[in-house]
Amino acid sequence: MIRIANGQGFWGDWLEAPVRLVEDGPLDYLVLDYLAEITMSIVQKQKERDPAQGYASDFPVLIERIGATIKDRNVKVIANAGGVNPVACAREVRRLAPHLKVAIVHGDDVFPHLDQFLSAGHAMTNMDTGEPLSTIRSRILSANAYIGAFPLAAALATGADIVIAGRCTDTALALAPMIHHFGWKEHDWDLLAAGTIAGHIIECGAQATGGNCQIDWESIPDMANVGYPIVEAEPDGSFTVTKHAGSGGRVNTSVVKEQLLYELGDPRNYITPDCVADFTTIQLAGAGPDRVRVSGIRGRARTPFLKLSISYAYGWKSIGTLVYSSPDARAKAQAADRIVRQRLYQLGLHFEEIHTEFLGVNACHGPAALPQLHAPEVQLRIGVRGQDRKAVDRFTRELIPLVLNGPPTATGFGDGRPPVREVVAYWPALVPRELISTRVEVVE
């Protein structure tokens, strides 16, 4: 049996979580998931400004903090912290923790190869819209293939203390140590599906241990010290989900079910680079306090494709808010919205979308919101999006004047004009997997 824990569900997650995972109980592998779909474009921009940047900067600082402990306890770390610059990330880790051996997984960055792919006839059409990539070619900012678990397992086989990857799948981080430790092969579809689902359960950190939990949330103990999830994996593909003794939070079958359903599509076809996992085969059973046993998982052969995560410059947006108090808070906010829209129209400004929400009334649930007839206060939230930066910038100047020249009792304008933000959009596409080749580089 090996113990694999996830200490970061995204770049921005709780900094104490991975420290406690390595210090407060037994562990063999610590995995850290830093990359959301849109994170790649953020790190790409950082790298353009400074060639020494472009990775999850939280990661080297964390390794400096836990480096001695993981060496003492022989805990291996696997992270997609490399972003678009895993070499710079590894260099910084080595500078802060020179006693650790680092392996880098290369090959996910296909930005330099896109024209070659296009001229070879790979259209890389948008999986959602069906448009060919050529329509946005000049605006592309980054392009990365989702790498599976086998290249990460190869990196572990070098004996590295730290494995740094760029854009690998979230689930590959936890599957890789199982492949490495148990010797699972590329056609062990059931085993690979089991490890993939283990990875899915822990990839969002505390969402598997009581965080964001809708069942009995008020009674979940000590969320201030919530324990992050640990998988105790067996060679036969079964595993137990748990957390360190003494930590806060809760692990039971209801909590694990919620996380299994999170960001799920067709449950019979959970497609990864490593296999196709079938969520309808999962069997759960309580196995004592804060322990859930998972077994029975079946999988099928991987597809011939790898998914690309492409980001491109889309346009501009800005979102501004004002608060109106009672009486008639909602009616005042609605009147203010009409005034802003009329002024934008009179200025001749055009946007792809103007979207208004009334927080405190129905912003989250829309038509499904429970009736809220007399809200004591309502936040007006108006957003615009478009290709014309000047129009978006002009919008940012149209909200605050309402404090003096609109309906009464407007407040909550302390931050001034809202900022204009660049919209970087995400373009999912498929390419034949043989176009992507990976390699491992060891730094010591």
Partner 1 sequence: MKIPLSRIAHGRSGDKGDTSNIGIIAIHPRHYRVLVREVTAAGVKQYFGDLVRGKVERFELANLGALNFLLHESLGGGGTLSLRVDAQGKTLSAALLAMEINVEDSELADIA
Residues that bind partner 1 (CB under 8 A): 37-38, 128, 207, 212, 214-215, 254, 257-268, 279-284, 314, 317, 319, 353, 355, 357, 359, 363-370, 381, 383-385, 423-426, 428
Torsion of CA 238, 239, 240, 243, to 10 degrees: -170
The nearer residue to partner 1, 11 or 184, going by C-beta atoms, is 11
The nearer residue to partner 1, 8 or 311, going by C-beta atoms, is 311
The nearer residue to partner 1, 126 or 438, going by C-beta atoms, is 126
User: Least CB distance from residue 233 to partner 1, whole Å?
Assistant: 20
CA atoms of 292 and 239, how far apart (whole Å) = 8
User: Least CB distance from residue 305 to partner 1, whole Å?
Assistant: 17
SS3 track for 78-110: EECCCCCCHHHHHHHHHHHCCCCCEEEEECCEC
The nearer residue to partner 1, 245 or 369, going by C-beta atoms, is 369
User: Least CB distance from residue 421 to partner 1, whole Å?
Assistant: 8
Which stretches of 291-399 are assigned E, i.e. beta strand? 292-295, 298-300, 305-325, 353-359, 377-386
User: Least CB distance from residue 264 to partner 1, whole Å?
Assistant: 5
13, two tokens: 């997650």
The nearer residue to partner 1, 87 or 363, going by C-beta atoms, is 363
User: Least CB distance from residue 424 to partner 1, whole Å?
Assistant: 6
CA-to-CA separations, 364 to 2, 356, 402, in angstroms, rounded: 41, 12, 24
Q: Are 41 and 71 within 8 A, CB to CB?
A: no
CA atoms of 120 and 336, how far apart (whole Å) = 54
What's the start-to-end Cα distance of the chain, in Å?
29
The nearer residue to partner 1, 76 or 317, going by C-beta atoms, is 317
248 secondary structure, DSSP code:
B
User: Least CB distance from residue 8 to partner 1, whole Å?
Assistant: 17
User: Least CB distance from residue 144 to partner 1, whole Å?
Assistant: 16
3-state secondary structure of 439: strand
The nearer residue to partner 1, 104 or 297, going by C-beta atoms, is 297
Instruction: Please report, as a single letter, which amino acid is at residue 125.
Output: T
User: Least CB distance from residue 135 to partner 1, whole Å?
Assistant: 16
- Which H/E stretch holds residue 271? strand 270-271
Torsion of CA 18, 20, 23, 27, to 10 degrees: -60
The nearer residue to partner 1, 158 or 212, going by C-beta atoms, is 212
The nearer residue to partner 1, 57 or 321, going by C-beta atoms, is 321
Pairing of strands 410-411, 298-300: unpaired
The angle subtended at Cα 172 by Cα 168 and Cα 175, nearest 5°, is: 160
The nearer residue to partner 1, 46 or 438, going by C-beta atoms, is 46
87, two tokens: 């070499």
Q: Which residue is listed with tokens 């919620």?
A: 258
CA atoms of 279 and 274, how far apart (whole Å) = 15
User: Least CB distance from residue 127 to partner 1, whole Å?
Assistant: 9
Pairing of strands 239-242, 162-164: unpaired
User: Least CB distance from residue 434 to partner 1, whole Å?
Assistant: 26
